[in-house]
Amino acid sequence: MAQGKVLLQMLKEFEEKGYSVQYKLLDAKDYGVPQTRTRVFIIGIRSDLDLEFTYPKKTHGFRLKPYRTVREAIWKFRSDPGIHYKGEAKRPFLTDGYSEDFKSRQRKLAWDLPSAPIIATIWNIPLHPDGKPMKKVAQRKYEFDGKINRTLSIKEVLAIQSFPDDYIVKGSLIERYRQVGNAVPFILSKKLAVTVKKCLDGIKIDLCSYCNKTQEIKEVIFIDAKFTLSKSCACKNCFQTQLRTSWEAHDPIKVIIKS
């Protein structure tokens, strides 16, 4: 957007709020989703945590696992595809239930390739692979060819978005297609979440007992001469200024101080 200026402004504002931010363009098909879908993912981690985040490695593609295909995702639904759009939407910009943009390119999927992007508007959902491909009749103009031209069903778009087979979306047909089309593909979102979790594993975030700020802390257990225990939490700065001991020299989570 605006030749990247919007993204740069977002990154600047996040960094001003104390986050170390990075971004990367990921394609869902590179991570086991049967769909070509490129999106920018922005990850921000508080700068004071001094952690390094690395995006998950690709699992599919050149010299990796083969890309997953439409056939792998939806062949199992051929005998029972479930509810699907039949061109019933009525809007001033629609012709027979489809937009002009829908017919500006080939919308019929191929069985043995990843799907085109599943988007949120019901009249722009790709067509099921059965039947003939759409026929090009002019520049940026395609028409249906033959009688078999069906929009992917709700079950099928969920599968192409890599959701589990028992996943349920509710609402009107338009609302259900919108929910699925706006979602981050399940497999990709899970891989990102697991990567973030691994980055954060081994640290503890809580309220520092000394500066009253929520940040990475270590639990401190004090043992006096009578073996009486008392506990507190200290951040890295307070470890050095209040407890006068080295943060790095102690256990990652818990510290015992004898007095």
Contacts of 7 by beta carbon, 8 Å cutoff, 6+ apart: 1, 23, 40
Please give the pLDDT value at position 135.
Answer: 96
Question: What pTM was estimated for this model as a whole?
Answer: 0.80
**pLDDT beneath 50: ranges in the chain:** 253, 258-259
Asked: is 70-177 a CATH 3.90.120.10 domain? The reply is: yes
Tens digits of residue pLDDT in 50-99: 788 999 999 999 999 999 999 999 999 999 999 999 999 999 999 889 98
Domain boundaries defined on the chain: 2-66+189-200, 70-177, 204-258
Burial class (CB in 10 A: 0-12, 13-18, 19+), 38: exposed
Contacts of 249 by beta carbon, 8 Å cutoff, 6+ apart: none
